[in-house]
């Protein structure tokens, strides 16, 4: 019995690895399909699917001195006004050579709100904060290449889940909305700044908007 157990475990590990190598991901009628992780995400029809982009980035592990290549893939949906981005939804899948820490947003200091939520019957972690277009890197470049104008600062709610046999995959669904800057410059939207009543009302509406822009129809982690 013991002789049979070890080969079976090896086969299971290999099958898990093969599933990730052969992962199929596509967008059809504003629905994102992925075989690994097995998930289906329906994005609201008010957003137009722009396409996908990817990059590899050298990053240092959070809890060690190890540095390795993190593979990143994004699937981008945009709502625009004359090619100026108003709102966006991005689905990002990352693969690390080591693993992702369990407390995904534990080191984020400036945020409007963070915690856990349930999507598709599974627990996820989320964080709402102010982000700058320059922070998005590859996604901003990709949107610009497609002819879109990306504002300097945006409100973002990122909802993430670590998965994989080694916890070396991370999926993040981001809802992004332009921060109104007619009355307040970008730095006045920072979570640690003195927010006016109208700003707080806008942030509350932003949180409600984020809950309507996509839905996880199916997931298996």
What average pLDDT score do residues 15-37 get? 80
Place of tokens 């050298």: 58
Q: Which domain holds residue 46?
A: 2-220
Q: What is the pTM of this model?
A: 0.87
Tens digit of pLDDT for each residue in 56-99? Answer: 987 666 555 567 789 999 999 999 999 999 999 999 999 999 89
Alpha-carbon gap, residue 154 to 69, rounded angstroms: 28
Mean pLDDT of the chain: 87
According to the model, what pLDDT value does residue 192 have? Answer: 78
Contact 54, 75 (CB under 8 A): no
- State phi, psi for 135 to the nearest 5 degrees: -75, -25
- Segment (H or E) for 220: strand 214-220
Tally the domains of the chain.
1
Count Cβ neighbours within 10 Å for each residue of 160-181 and write b for 16 or more, e otherwise.
bbbbbeeebbbbbbbbbbbbee
What average pLDDT score do residues 211-220 get? 94
Contact 199, 155 (CB under 8 A): no
According to the model, what pLDDT value does residue 11 have? Answer: 39
pLDDT tier at 22, thresholds 50, 70, 90: confident
According to the model, what pLDDT value does residue 194 have? Answer: 83
Query: How distant is the alpha carbon of residue 74 from its chain centre?
Result: 8
Of the candidates 36, 68, 28, the residue with the CA atom closest to the CA atom of residue 52: 28
- Segment (H or E) for 149: none
Copy the structure tokens of residue 128: 């709402």
Q: Residue 27 above 50 pLDDT?
A: yes
């Amino acid at each position: 019995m013991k002789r049979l157990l070890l080969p079976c475990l090896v086969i299971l590990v290999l099958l898990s690895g093969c599933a990730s190598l052969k992962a199929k991901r596509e967008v059809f009628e504003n629905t994102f399909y992925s075989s690994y992780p097995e998930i289906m995400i329906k994005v609201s029809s008010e957003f137009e699917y722009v396409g996908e982009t990817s990059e590899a980035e050298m990053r240092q592990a959070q809890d060690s001195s190890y540095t390795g290549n993190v593979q990143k893939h994004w699937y981008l949906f945009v709502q625009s006004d004359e090619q100026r981005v108003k709102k966006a939804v991005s689905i990002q899948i990352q693969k690390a050579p080591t693993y992702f820490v369990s407390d995904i947003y534990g080191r984020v200091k400036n945020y409007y709100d963070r915690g856990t939520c349930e999507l598709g019957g599974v627990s996820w972690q989320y964080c709402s904060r102010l982000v700058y277009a320059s922070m998005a890197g590859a996604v901003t470049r990709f949107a610009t290449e497609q002819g879109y104008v990306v504002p300097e600062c945006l409100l973002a709610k990122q909802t993430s889940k670590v998965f994989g046999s080694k916890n070396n995959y991370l999926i993040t669904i981001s809802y992004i909305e332009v921060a109104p800057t007619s009355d307040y410059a970008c730095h006045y939207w920072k979570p640690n700044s003195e927010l006016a009543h109208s700003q707080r009302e806008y942030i509350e509406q932003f949180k409600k908007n984020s809950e309507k822009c996509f839905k996880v129809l199916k997931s298996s982690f």
